[in-house]
Structure 1
Amino acid sequence: MALFFDRQWFEEKLVERGLNQRIMAAAAGMTEAELALVFKDQRELSAEEVGIFADLLGTPAPEIADRAGVSTPTPGQSDLAGRVLALEKKVAALEAEIRRLTAPR
């Protein structure tokens, strides 16, 4: 896993595919300035952007995340807070049902 954004690797991948940073930014719905910050390791990628770059570069998403730096999420990881909240609601509902079933009659 790269500690920092692996600019050279991404640039080589773009050249291999006949693409450039303008196309990469547009594909991800980013401005060229935002992508420039990514390449300077001053902006992190979202899981959605990792997925888009994976498709664009023909590379598995985990490879993109690894090359983008240590804290870059892969698709499916980005909504951890939402998943935890949903699980907490399910646990609360189960606890309420247990209380109802075990209450004296």
Structure 2
Amino acid sequence: MSLFFDADWFDAKLAERGLDRAALAIAAGLERTDLHAVFINERAPTAEELETFARVLQSDLVEVTLKSGVAAREAPPTNAEPEDRIESIEARLDAIDNWLAEFEQSKKKSA
């Protein structure tokens, strides 16, 4: 399962609000080069950055997370072997657990 940052979706949401990537970078406390790395899949956004993106874009955090490539709703192919499906599900659950742990840590730091 490949996950990719949907830069077109983010750009369209920014344009709807009369904003650009520079505004998003400023809101998230990022250098433009760091935001660019997120947009081209060189690094994953942090939970805190995703929360900021959602607020700036006035979008649901889950949708922003999905569009950022951090999580995916796709299920493994139905023709996959049961062992492969279990491994895929476990990997997705691990990714969600890691994201939630990071999100909880960022909330503790900001409190």
- What TM-score does the superposition give when structure 1 sets the normalisation length? 0.67
Q: Hey, which bits of structure 1, 4+ residues long, moved more than 3 A?
A: 70-73
**SS of corresponding position for 1:15:** helix
Structure with higher Rg: it is 1
Unaligned runs of 5+ in 1: 82-105
Tell me the CA shift for residue 70 of structure 1. Answer: 3.6
Task: Give the structure 1 partner of residue 54 of structure 2.
Answer: 54
Alpha-carbon displacement from aligned partner over 1:45-65 (angstroms, at most 9, x marks no partner): 011000000000000111000
Distance in 1, matches of 2:35 and 2:28, equals 9
Task: Give the structure 2 partner of residue 96 of structure 1.
Answer: none
Distance in 1, matches of 2:21 and 2:70, equals 22
Task: Give the structure 2 partner of residue 13 of structure 1.
Answer: 13
Alpha-carbon displacement from aligned partner over 1:5-35 (angstroms, at most 9, x marks no partner): 0011001001001001111001000000000
Tell me the CA shift for residue 79 of structure 1. Answer: 5.3
Distance in 2, matches of 1:52 and 1:68, equals 13
Distance in 1, matches of 2:53 and 2:103, equals 19
Task: Give the structure 2 partner of residue 84 of structure 1.
Answer: none
Unaligned runs of 5+ in 2: 72-94, 106-111
Distance 1:79 1:36, change over 3 A: closer
Preserved CA contact (<8 Å) 2:44 2:70: no
State the aligned residue count: 78
Identity percentage over the alignment?
37
Distance in 2, matches of 1:39 and 1:56, equals 16
Distance in 1, matches of 2:103 and 2:4, equals 23
Root-mean-square deviation over aligned CA pairs:
2.3
Task: Give the structure 2 partner of residue 35 of structure 1.
Answer: 35
Distance 1:70 1:18, change over 3 A: same
Distance in 2, matches of 1:80 and 1:19, equals 29
Distance in 2, matches of 1:69 and 1:79, equals 16
